[in-house]
Each structure stands twice: as C-alpha cells, then as structure tokens.
Structure 1
C-alpha cells in the first residue's frame, strides 16, 4: 500500500508531490478521478486509486479523462483529472469550452510540466493555459503545498464556477517531503440538472457565456491580489528581491537566503499590485520562473519595465542554484563565490536501451535488415528506442499517435528518390488506442500505401506498465473487456487478408510478414503479440548460453540489441580477398536472459543453445 494511504491516526507522512496530490484529492471529497499515464504525472492516479469512496479510471487518452471529469462535475460531484504537459494539448478542446460553461462540482486539473525534458519530447509551460482559457493557476513548491493547494483548488473552482489548474513540475512530482495530512470531507452529489443554455455549447449559447467569463476573471484577479497563497518573505539584503513560484522558490531561497522573496502560489491571475508594492521595497526585482517569461512579460506590460528575468536567466531547464548564483552575481557586477569542491564522478556511459527479451527488439532487428528499402514513422513509447543503436530503424517521432498521419503524408509526398520505398508506421498498443486509431482510419479512407506495425505488449510500458483497454485489466487489476486489435483494425477498414498477427520472437516470421506486406500497395497491419517482459503476463523460458568454440564472432546476435548479450573479445581477420572482418565474440548473462530465443534465430553457426540444467 502507498505511504499516502495510512490509518487515520497518522497525521504526518513522507509523500512525493504526486502522492500528496492524490491525498488532497481524497481529502477534498472528490468523487470521480481519471487520467492517462504520462511521466511525471503517472503516480497521481495510481495513488488516487488506492483510496476508498471514489471512482478512478485509466482513460484511453487525456481528452477522454477530462470529459469524464467534466461529466461528473456537471452532475454535482467533485471531479479531478491528471496529465503531463503534452496531455493538456490533447485535452484542450474539451477544456477550452468548459471554461465557458463552468462547473457544478469542483473541477481540478493537475498538469505536470517536465521541466528539463527528463522523459518528454518537448518542454512546454502549462501556465499559458491559465491565460489562454481565463482560469486560475495554482503552483505548489513542495509536497505539503501540493496537498493544500488541491484542496483550495476545489473550493476555488466552486466559488468562482470555473475549472482550476494545478501546475506541477517534475521536481515537485517526484521529490518526497513530510506532509501533514487530514481526513476526508464528505460531499453530497446533487445530480445532473437540465440546463441546455449552459451545457449545450452552440454558438448562441456560448456567446452568452463570454461576458460572464470576463467578469469572473476580474473577480479572480481581485482574489489573487488578496490570496494567502502569495507570501512576502523579508530579507536583510534589499539590493535584489526575487519574485518566484513553484520549486524555483526553493532554489532562490537556497541560493540567496538573505534576500527578500515574494513567493506566489496563486500565479494566475497575476497579483500585479501586490507585486508592485513588493517591488518598491527592493533596489532591483528579479523574476525567477520556469520556463517562459510569463510573469516578467505581464509586469513589464503593467509598467514595471525595470524588472529583470530572462535577460539573465535561461528559458529552458530548471533554475537551480548553479544557474541562479552566477547570473545574479553577474547582475550585481560581482564575482560569484567559488563552488564547493566535491569529488568528480564520471558515471559509466549507458545509452538508453530496451530490456532483455523486449518483444520490440525482434521487430526492429527485422526493420534494420530492410533499412534501405523503407521509411519508418515512429511514435511515443518504449519502441521509440528503435531509433538508436544497433537498429537505427526509426525516422520520425513527434507526438502520441502521429506515426499514422505522418506515414500517410510521406506516402502522398513521394519524390523520385523515395518513390520505390515502402512506408511503415510503428505504434504501440496503448498509443494506438490513445490517438492512433484515427490515423489508421485516415490511411484507409485515403487509400494510403502504408504498412502499420502495432506492437502489442499488453502494457503502457514507457510509464511503468499501466493497464489500458487492450490489457484485459482495469486500474484496480480487475478483469475488464480486452480490445481485439485484429477486429478493431478490420472495423476501421483494413482488409482481413491484409491483417497479420505474429510472434515477435520468431524473427524469420516477422521478417517475412513485413517483407510481404510492404510489397502490397494498400493499407496493411501487422500486430505483434508478446507481453512486456516486466508485466505480470510474461512467462520466462529457459535461458541460453553461447558455446565458445562454436562462436565465429560474426556479431549477428549483437544486432538483435539485447542487453543480456556481451562482447567478450574482439579480433580482426583478413580474408583471402584482402577485406578485413571485425569479429566480436559474445557471451550471454544467463541471469538476465529470459529465453526468448531471438538471438538463436540470428546465429548462423548455431552457437547459442539452451543452458543445461544445474546438476544436483
């Protein structure tokens, strides 16, 4: 059981920001919670699901998760959804309309920004959504504030008839701290009330909502000016004062403990007049915000043209002390203090790779053998690693589900150079259900010459193996209807004879299936069917070993990409024709090996055999 879910007698718990958000959701009396997994927000819903007295689900994508929460809010229940920053892009259609219609039960959306791109394809600032949609934004700096601000967000949502954003960052999501917790506040659910003028968002009805939205933002601005979430901490060194929010506050306080700081928790609407008053108490004001200069720009537009921000601080990454200290000392015309002397540690370089026996490896091994004949559009997931060595078998990765549409675009924009190349789209099972189905339908509808590879490993693998509509399990591990991918793609219009299901461990079968389908000039789908090696569905086989005297050093097994295979020695050999062969003799870490036998299929001299059982 999570540390966040303890007996009611516990008053202080060690919680990550994600766990604290979940606790705050429960304590607030929330009735319905939904999300799609995405680092750094994944653990929020996983922890929400551990609490009683509420409903929680993995939705097929972020837009659906928000729509579920909206439906619950319309019905008078407090509702919550969580997502990472790129997920908010997916949910934005529903979000932008609901900011006009408002709420009945409190509606809170936690958005986790991956500042520093630890596991994302871009770095975006979700505070923009507050300004774009005219809704309040709260920013916790630590786990305690995460819990408290979620509870305040529900109250704020109901008081002002608006969705509320709680903007997190990776550091807040994953760092643990002691948190004072409370009990759950029960909330009655009023039920859905008919109100077509409010809930049916035709242009005529939406127009009537706009003046109320503008008026609401004015009241929110007044609330922000007086909010107890915005705190001024005095300091003795008034040469420079800092305006900051979220985890950047921790970095400021660590770097300049003697300087005055105005820490914002209610960051939109921006409390301009309160900031103006703080500005008058210091010689210079430095705005420390991750990542975009939103507050800085608004303050300059409000007449505080002398504030300093992104002219000395970067617009990317975390604003840690090693970034802040030299920048601010340089602003003062001073030399920063010498950094502490610490032993330098050079970590062993380890490029990202797939797990031993990952079913995706067989697909990429086969694709790498066809590399000169194909263009390969990729997607978001573990299989994105196919772009790296030893496969080098992925040409694009843009966003969830984009492999399908991009592949169709490649097909329709062929040049003389690419006219004879086959176009392949690679996508995972969870990603296909998230946003890939529409792209495949578009390929079929527009008669695209594309072969789609759906890599079904019965898992949302990249974020930790969460369940989805294709696993046969729900969020709580109970049995659930499981999507039949073959029937689904047939329903989308792919001809039955162009749908193949293959075992990705059988390399000759995978290679032949791909080669056959790319030769057919119409939409086709190949579905692999092996569970993720880290999932409960996976069964291990007897491991393999390399017979040293039979190994010729050809290195074919290394091209599979399995991290359980190691090079024991390298040699060069000059052939009779004068060409030099680089030989790599290998061994297998039998503790890592799961017996998938992909390396066996790649070995010409048959030097890889099952490990003999240990004698008694």
Structure 2
C-alpha cells in the first residue's frame, strides 16, 4: 500500500461502511489504529492507512491489536481497533479486563459480524460481548450511520471512560452509499498517568473496580433511554410494531413502511422504557434482529410480550422477502405469491487462483495415501474441495497444530500406521500457530507441518504480515525467517525443509520422507501469492490438441486456467470403460507456472510460442 496521500476534502463522498468508519476515525483525531485482516472488516484499516497524521498497523493477531489500542488509550490518545466477529474470541482476554480498567483516550472497537457466512467458519453474534463485558454497543444500518456512530463512539467512550463496541455486519461493511463527511480535528495525547490501582489488575485491584463497572452500566442504561440514537417512529398501522437495529431496521421500513418501529442505534444497554411504550401502542410486537434473540429475550425478561425467532429464522440476513411473509402470517393476512420465480444460478464453487502456489501442495497431498490432514483458516482451506479433497478438518485460526497433535496422541489402533500432517499459512502461523508448534515439539508429536509462505494474507486481499518485509503502508520492515523461527520453537534443523511448491517431484519427495520420520518436522513452501507484486508471470502454456490423450491428469492440479473441451468414453482392452477428458489452457490467464506440465503423461502441454513482431524500419524525417 502506498504512503498516505492526504484525505479528501469535506464533502459528500460515496463510501462503503468500512470506508465511512475509517473516515470517521481519522476525523475524530485518533492517533492510533490497529487491526488484523479479516473479512468483512479488512477495508477499515486499509482505508485508514491512506490517511495522514495517525499511526496504523496490521497486528499479528486481534489480541495484540486490541492491546496496542489499549496502550494508546492509556497514553491519552484516541485509538481504534477493528476485527471480524471471530477475532473477538482471540481478543477477549484483553477485552474482559479492559472493561474493569476502563479507558482514558476514546477507544472504539469495530466488530464486523459475518451474517450469512460470506467468508467465515461461524455466524456468532458479537452483541453478546457487550452484555458479557458490560459495554455499550452501537449498531449502524448504513454507511452514513457507520460514519456518525464511529465519531460518536469516541465521545461516548470518553464520557463513560470505557471502550465502545461498534457492531457492523457484512452488508453494512461492503455496501456503498453517499456519506456527508467533515474535517479532521487534531487531538493531542494527554499523557500517561501512573495509577497502579487502576492499571495493575491483580485480584485486589480488580475487585475494587468491579462495582465501578456495574455503576457505569447503570448510568449507561439511563443514558440509553434518552439517547438520540434510539428513536421511536410512531407509524400509522398499529396492528404490529417492530424493534429493530442495524440493517434490519431498513428492511423493516421497506417491508412495513406504515408500522411503528423502535430503531435502536445504541442497542445495549436496551432502552426498555421506549420498548414498553411501543408495546402499549400496538397489537403485536415483533423484534427483528440478526442473528441471536438477545433483544427479544431481554424484552420478555422485562415482562414485554414479543415475537421474534418464533416466526423468523435464527441465521442469515433478515431481508424484506423473509420478514414480510412471516409477519403477514402472524397477523392473519394472506401471503402473496412471488411475482417472479427465481432462476437457478449455475453453481460456482470457490476455487484457488490460476497458478496459486497452493495448487502444487494440494495436488501432492491428494496423491498421498494413509494420511490424516489437519487444515487451517485461509484461502488454502479450499484444498478441502474438488479436485484435491486434501483436508480433513478446519476449525479456527491455528487449530491445525493442536488438532494434529491430538490426532497423533489420540489415534486409534486402526490409525496406527497413518501419518498426520498439519497445513497452515504464513500469516495464520504467526497469528496462532506458533504456540501449537511449540506444543508439538515439546510433547514430541509425530506430526509433519506444512507452512505455506506466500508472503501475503491471501484470503483477505494480500495484506502484509511480519513475514513479508513490509508494513501496512508498504515501507520496509523486518522480515521473519520461518526456518529460523521453527528451529527456535524446537524443530531439529535436519527436519526443516524449504521447498518450491511448483516443483512437484521435490515436494512429493520431501513430504514422503518427512512423514516417515517419527518426530516433528516442518516443510516450508516459498513462492508468493500470484496476486501480489512479488509474483513474476512467465510465458504461458498451451495444449497440443492432437497430442492430448484425454488422460485428465492436468485437471487434478485444479488450476482454473485449464478448461474441459470434451468428454469421450472408451473401452480399454481389459474391457473397462473409462472417460477421457480433453483439455485446453486459457493462455490469457496462464502465468506459466508449469504445474500442469509435470503430470501430463503424453507431454501435450508446451510453452506458447512467443509472438515475434516484425521490425518496421523507421523512415528518416
């Protein structure tokens, strides 16, 4: 990423929710912004890195990210931290103590929930953290609100001396809208003040802070009742009223424009008095919330009768097409048939990029037999799919290490001869994998670890990490050497190999040999992601049609540049019927990596002949 170029002037700007949050953070005078990349939150920090006058970093994981922001707040600076929903699980250790110490400089933590699981392993609801940690939660419905709430969050944080959670969702993060933006206001740091009773959370100090936390929550509850972010729209159709927050508010207004709605911008603590007033106005009350019934349960606990997840799904987005028929059935109205039938969409399963260095890894793993493969979180998780089917598990960031050790130590008699392999990416290894490898070496696990070093956080857009040699703004930075790192974590030097994943025989030999050794070993692949500047494209390949025998070996590599031209069934002399698959290479997409050439039995794949342009003599003037 280039160095900051200066922010656009105050005006009406077309922005995604993520970009709007970034703009607000910059305008707030924040001096420190941190994050670990994770869809759908990534663009917040990417955008902030383009603004001047504040420090930005990609942290090694979400816990460190939050801790850096906490330190900046302790120093009296406004600070910002962003993460996706599952990232809060990693940061929770810091968060649950931060709620006791409180903050000095305003601290906003943006949490992007992946409602609908666009790019996540679960759909957990981050609003639980506000209740668990007794912290206020703001919920934006669109880009303008994301901008305004991020700005407001710093004021709220400093008013109550606590972090403020800004809950975003995938739709708000990525949908663009016009935002009325302003100017940056400079806010110098006020300085760190020594106060061990507040900042040193030994049991005695923590016990004295707990009553302060509950008193703060009581004041926040009173504040929520009068907050301008919680608005009761009276409406005219009193048959049903709604309580809604986030993008669900917009969906309710579209589905039932005449109904009363309590729109919650500050959704926790819940404005119960306003909700009770709405319930008294209408015949039925329905809570529209994605995904868990948190508001619904709180209303019922307060004696307010409400519908919610009894008529609406507990997962996925609550679009008007979902809300309207459910509520119409509730009030006894007929549900109209859809005006048009949805046309089936041709299935397009996710796949790896053309010439991705992981293709060779999974092709090789798919050729191994008698092996259990523990996978991890990243674009390489796609190795579980066709044509490789080369992953047996994926749980969370870094889990491949511990799970591989557990598979080794807990193996059944039927698995006694099976080899255990763990596959993890470079950024994921630095995020949460190092501890797992230390556990493997310390406890003498019989595990072979594959670290796929492609010099990028590939799945979220190619961001830098501590092993790329660049910081968030593209400036040179120290680069971690994986071979030295894993040796320091206890792997013997003889059991560490660095391999080019495009050299299939070398990779296969390394895997076969290391899995035979009954001690921890590590194989590091060392080719860059094809989507970053480090990758060098070579002369593409093509298929000689008359030489192709239809063996189909090239398709097993899984490269999207290889296309099927035709199928043909033939009967072998043995009487067995086989299907031949004839290939063509999309030369415009091919990068010349050579992976498909190596398994091609008839040697029908060759370099595309370079186009030689005739030299046209230049006439003298």
Q: Same fold (TM over 0.5)?
A: yes
What does residue 312 of structure 1 align with?
311
| Contiguous gaps of at least 5 residues in structure 2 | 614-621
**Residue 429 in structure 1 maps to residue 418 in structure 2:** no
Q: Larger deviation: 415-424 or 568-577?
A: 568-577
Give the superposition deviation at 1:271: 0.9
What does residue 532 of structure 1 align with?
529
What is the alpha-carbon distance in structure 2 between the residues aligned to residue 414 and residue 179 of structure 1? Answer: 57
What does residue 619 of structure 2 align with?
none
What does residue 164 of structure 2 align with?
164
What does residue 565 of structure 1 align with?
562
What is the alpha-carbon distance in structure 2 between the residues aligned to residue 613 and residue 448 of structure 1? Answer: 51
Give the superposition deviation at 1:339: 2.5
Give the superposition deviation at 1:262: 0.7
What is the alpha-carbon distance in structure 2 between the residues aligned to residue 207 and residue 439 of structure 1? Answer: 33
Q: Deviations over 1:160-193 (max 9, x none)?
A: 1111100000011011111111111211211211
Aligned residues: 612
Say if 1:8 and 1:183, in contact at 8 Å, map to a contact too: no
What does residue 237 of structure 1 align with?
237
- Partner-residue secondary structure (3-state), 1:384: helix
Say if 2:9 and 2:183, in contact at 8 Å, map to a contact too: no
**Residue 603 in structure 1 maps to residue 600 in structure 2:** yes
What does residue 520 of structure 1 align with?
517
What does residue 184 of structure 1 align with?
184
What does residue 362 of structure 1 align with?
360
What does residue 348 of structure 1 align with?
346
- Partner-residue secondary structure (3-state), 2:80: strand
What does residue 553 of structure 2 align with?
556
What does residue 334 of structure 1 align with?
333
Say if 2:26 and 2:184, in contact at 8 Å, map to a contact too: yes
Say if 1:243 and 1:285, in contact at 8 Å, map to a contact too: yes
Q: Return the match for 1:454 from 438, 442, 451.
A: 451
- Partner-residue secondary structure (3-state), 1:417: helix
Matches within 5 A, 1:54-453: 54-304=54-304, 306-341=305-340, 344-370=342-368, 372-453=369-450
What is the alpha-carbon distance in structure 1 between the residues aligned to residue 124 and residue 113 of structure 2? Answer: 7
- Partner-residue secondary structure (3-state), 1:548: coil
Say if 1:32 and 1:77, in contact at 8 Å, map to a contact too: yes
What is the alpha-carbon distance in structure 1 between the residues aligned to residue 238 and residue 443 of structure 2? Answer: 65
What is the alpha-carbon distance in structure 2 between the residues aligned to residue 7 and residue 361 of structure 1? Answer: 40
Distance of aligned partners of 1:8 and 1:495 in 2 relative to their CA distance in 1, 3 Å threshold: closer
What is the alpha-carbon distance in structure 1 between the residues aligned to residue 419 and residue 9 of structure 2? Answer: 63
Say if 1:130 and 1:137, in contact at 8 Å, map to a contact too: yes
Say if 1:40 and 1:170, in contact at 8 Å, map to a contact too: yes
What is the alpha-carbon distance in structure 2 between the residues aligned to residue 585 and residue 172 of structure 1? Answer: 45
Distance of aligned partners of 1:8 and 1:373 in 2 relative to their CA distance in 1, 3 Å threshold: closer
Give the superposition deviation at 1:8: 5.7
Give the superposition deviation at 1:6: 7.3
Say if 2:5 and 2:52, in contact at 8 Å, map to a contact too: no
**Residue 476 in structure 1 maps to residue 473 in structure 2:** yes
Say if 1:329 and 1:336, in contact at 8 Å, map to a contact too: yes
Say if 2:362 and 2:383, in contact at 8 Å, map to a contact too: yes
What is the alpha-carbon distance in structure 2 between the residues aligned to residue 338 and residue 373 of structure 1? Answer: 53
Say if 1:244 and 1:263, in contact at 8 Å, map to a contact too: yes
What does residue 618 of structure 2 align with?
none
Q: Deviations over 1:122-168 (max 9, x none)?
A: 00100000000001001011111111111111111111111110000
Q: Deviations over 1:432-483 (max 9, x none)?
A: 0110000000000000000000001001000000011011111001111111
Say if 2:541 and 2:585, in contact at 8 Å, map to a contact too: yes
What is the alpha-carbon distance in structure 2 between the residues aligned to residue 95 and residue 468 of structure 1? Answer: 23
- Partner-residue secondary structure (3-state), 1:602: coil
The normalised TM-score by structure 2 is 0.97
The normalised TM-score by structure 1 is 0.98
What is the alpha-carbon distance in structure 2 between the residues aligned to residue 569 and residue 143 of structure 1? Answer: 48
- Partner-residue secondary structure (3-state), 2:564: strand
Say if 2:467 and 2:479, in contact at 8 Å, map to a contact too: yes
What is the alpha-carbon distance in structure 1 between the residues aligned to residue 219 and residue 330 of structure 2? Answer: 37
Give the superposition deviation at 1:606: 1.2
- Partner-residue secondary structure (3-state), 1:339: coil
What is the alpha-carbon distance in structure 1 between the residues aligned to residue 574 and residue 176 of structure 2? Answer: 64
Say if 2:6 and 2:52, in contact at 8 Å, map to a contact too: no
| Contiguous gaps of at least 5 residues in structure 1 | none
- Partner-residue secondary structure (3-state), 2:597: helix
Give the superposition deviation at 1:525: 0.2
Say if 2:262 and 2:274, in contact at 8 Å, map to a contact too: no
